[in-house]
Amino acid sequence: MRRAGVTRGALYHQFPGGKHDLFAAVFEQVEEELTASIGRTLAEAGGDDPLAALRAGIDATLDVALDPAIVRLTILDAPSVLGWAAWREVGERYGLGLVRAGLAAAMDGGAIARLPLDPLAQLLLASVEEAVVYVARADDKAAAREQAQAALHRLLDGLSAP
């Protein structure tokens, strides 16, 4: 706040719900930025291989687990500060859309078997989110990231079209 040249009161005045609304706004902004960044990764890696795009998106998401400030805000603090339902709604608005789009492209391209999109997207998103928590809590984050990456890529391989 000092660097911005505003007082705490002036900052909170912009958020009628005080700290809660400020936290919600910061969380929303971070989720939007992360989703945009991961979306760019998906687009750049995709080309003619939608499965490669999904893998790149997973890898970019796992990289987030290596940033303790982001993990603390988005995974550890947000559910307790905002409440599970509000936290989940933001996650679905951002991350679920990316997962759905990636899976739909892979199904349309014949890279993975056609399955009901919504439950598959929910399950894949939950798996990736749990992998982020696994990496974030690990003593050896680099090794945990490699393990989680291998497991998630294997899950995608299991979806490959026959």
Domain topology for 8-159: Tetracycline Repressor; domain 2 (1.10.357)
Among 42, 97, 32, which Cα is nearest to 70's? 32
Model confidence pLDDT, tens digit, residues 88-116: 899 888 889 999 999 999 999 999 999 99
Long-range own/partner contacts, residues 105-111 (CB < 8 A, 24 or more apart): 105/46, 105/50, 105/53, 106/50, 106/51, 106/53, 106/54, 106/159, 108/50, 109/48, 109/50, 110/161, 111/49, 111/50, 111/51, 111/160, 111/161
Among 119, 148, 147, which Cα is nearest to 132's? 148
Q: What pLDDT band is residue 3 in, cutting at 50, 70 and 90? A: low
The ranges assigned to domains in the chain are 8-159
Residue 155 confidence (pLDDT): 94
Model confidence pLDDT, tens digit, residues 109-157: 999 999 999 999 999 999 999 999 999 999 999 999 999 999 999 999 9
